[in-house]
Structure 1
Amino acid sequence: MPRVFRRSSYCGNSTCVEVATANSVHVRDGKNPGGAILSFEAAPWREFLAGVKRGELNRG
């Protein structure tokens, strides 16, 4: 089954990463969809998202 990548509605017209889920999570650069794809297992991806929501990855 082909991966279906989604872009956040928060992106608007700006460039964002795109995410596809299947047995694992796949992430690619929205401006270069034919480029590299990073793959993550579901549990570490959930931990990453939780850290983002808690503000742990905010700059300065």
Structure 2
Amino acid sequence: MPTTNTPLVLYVYRCTVCGHSGKLHLPESSPEVTTACSACGAEVQAEWDGGVELTTNEPE
């Protein structure tokens, strides 16, 4: 079975409602991503942190 590497981009955010700092790993590479705060659910702008990680889509 072939192995597929998917680059994941690190995004970070700080919620202006509750102050929670969070991060996301997403396959996109746009400068900003709108998402929900994982602590309170408020809409936040996550910004690209510049880090890219490669993951392997292999069954564990």
Compare the two structures and name the one with the higher helix fraction.
1
Compare the two structures and name the one with the higher strand fraction.
2
Structure label with greater radius of gyration: 2
TM > 0.5:
no
TM range (shorter): under 0.3
Q: Which has the higher contact order (CA 8 A, sep 6+)?
A: 2
Give the TM-score of the pair, scaled to structure 2: 0.28
